[in-house]
Amino acid sequence: MLASRAYLLAGVGGLGVGGSAHLLLVFPANVLGLVAGFACYFHALARVQTPRVGLQVGAVFGLALAASSLYWLIDVLQVLTLGERMAGSAVVGGFLLLVALPYGLWGFAARWVAQGPANPWLLLLHAPGLLLAQALIHDAWLGFPWLHSGYWLAFGPFGNWLGVLGAQGAGLLPLCLAAAVGLWSQTPRAPRLALVAAAVLCLGLLLPAGAPPSSEARPIQVATITIAPPMVGDSARDDLTLLSHYVAATQAARADWVVWPESVIRDGDANLAPLGEVLGRRGGPVFAGALLAAPAGRYNALVELRAGQPVHYKQKLVPFSEYVPGELLRRLFAAIGVHTLKTNVSTGPLPQRAFEVDGVAVQPLLCYEVAFTELVAPEERPGVLLNVGNESWFRSAILHRMTLAMGVARAREYGLPLVRSVAGGHSGFFEPASGTWWETGQLLGPAMLHRAPLVPRPAATPYSRWRRMLR
């Protein structure tokens, strides 16, 4: 009976954390849902006796969490045949099992620790132990750092902790609070730990949101332009009507910099030069995502259109859309003859560095790269984060909210202003000093224009200093 209740509680907890992911942009519902869900997980582990059952209970939590927050992965299968969709869905289901693995592994480890002399310290070990399991499986093995608890802090006053500990480290705080709440009646230490964790979390209200820009810094008028594509598909040819709308909106934007979304130019080798001629050499830079020829397949790149030159090549590709994660899954896909990739994309050549525009170092993050804090190089003194993406492939709103939270988390980690131009997702600007996200835009024909003055400043948060020392 105790075990069956533990399974139920773990499932409810996983669904609770997955449900809170739908509310990532809403404080305090985002943090409360995260803490409540993980409290159910830790409480469920305390109700079982053996490591084997702990593994199973943890896996139930992980599966419920993965299914309720990552179901958008199957959206990329919509352009495939029915047979490919069925086989692809089965393989994506296998990937979700791997995503659930660290929660099961920590369930096993926690019950093993509970049977030994370290049992009195289990309350304090829960949060760092689970974080370590996630880092080993999600980050190191799968290359999928999608579920860091720190992302739940991005929108709200507790997000100031991101500039101190980063998204991964800041996630320890709500996990410690969840462990204490979940074990409240199990050990007399739990209420005290809950009070301490809550107090430390609330200290984020007193931390500076970010360094204000220098009085000598010149504001830059930046405009993002997004247009809903007429159809979702993987075309090797450009929609010239769509590109003409982008050009017209750019000419009407009246901005120092203009930013188009990722891969809006499908055949960059053929159309970069004509677009540059139409836009002319005079005027501020126009950045756009383009697919360019590579030795094997194509590069997903960011280009400056007036000069017709690439400034960044994408390094981190979208799982099951641009690449298949893990050698085991790649072999399985090959064996069953399933091809879910929307385009044959290769990772760009190394090194990839911030590039300079008008004396400002710009750190680009193409689409999925926004999930990887290590791609931001604070030693290069970037002054602006530029995140472009194309989320038109994904119909699920939770995906758009999660990538926005990641972008805001990166901005808060380094204290850098964020520019986002994302087709089908959230476009706008984030100012870390005030913690404000601007998304209000205006329609220019079929184009949505977001425009705001941006003041660059160097990365100067404690987290950016630690990263600089460790690189």
**Beta strand segments in 230-371, E:** 257-259, 286-293, 298-304, 309-313, 345-346, 355-357, 360-366
The alpha helices in 77-188, defined as continuous H runs, are 82-114, 122-134, 162-170, 172-182
> Which tens digit of pLDDT belongs to each residue from 105-121?
999 999 999 999 999 99
Is 390 within 8 Å of 414 (Cβ atoms)? no
Could you give the CA distance from residue 471 to residue 467 in angstroms, rounded to a whole number?
6
Nearest to 456 by CA among 369, 352, 359, 376: 359
Amino acid at 144: F
β-bridge partners, 362: 355, 384
> Which tens digit of pLDDT belongs to each residue from 285-328?
999 999 998 887 789 999 999 988 999 999 888 766 676 666 67
pLDDT band, very low/low/confident/very high, at 190 (cuts 50, 70, 90): very high
* pLDDT value of residue 283: 87
Mean pLDDT (whole number) for 59-72: 95
* pLDDT value of residue 231: 64
* pLDDT value of residue 10: 97
pLDDT exceeds cutoff 90 at 143? no
Q: Which long-range contacts (CB under 8 A, 24 or more apart) does 426-430 make?
A: 426/400, 426/401, 427/224, 427/226, 427/261, 428/224, 428/452, 429/222, 429/224, 429/454
Could you give the CA distance from residue 161 to residue 209 in angstroms, rounded to a whole number?
9
Mean pLDDT (whole number) for 442-454: 90
- Among 55-64, 228-237, 387-396, where is mean pLDDT lowest? 228-237
Mean pLDDT (whole number) for 399-410: 96
pLDDT band, very low/low/confident/very high, at 437 (cuts 50, 70, 90): very high
Show me where the domains of the chain are located: 2-205, 220-470
pLDDT exceeds cutoff 90 at 135? yes
Mean pLDDT (whole number) for 156-181: 96
* pLDDT value of residue 236: 63
pLDDT exceeds cutoff 80 at 350? no
Place of tokens 């919509």: 78
In which region does residue 33 sit, left (phi positive, over 0), alpha (psi from -120 to 50) or beta (all else)?
Answer: alpha
As a CATH number, domain 220-470 is 3.60.110.10
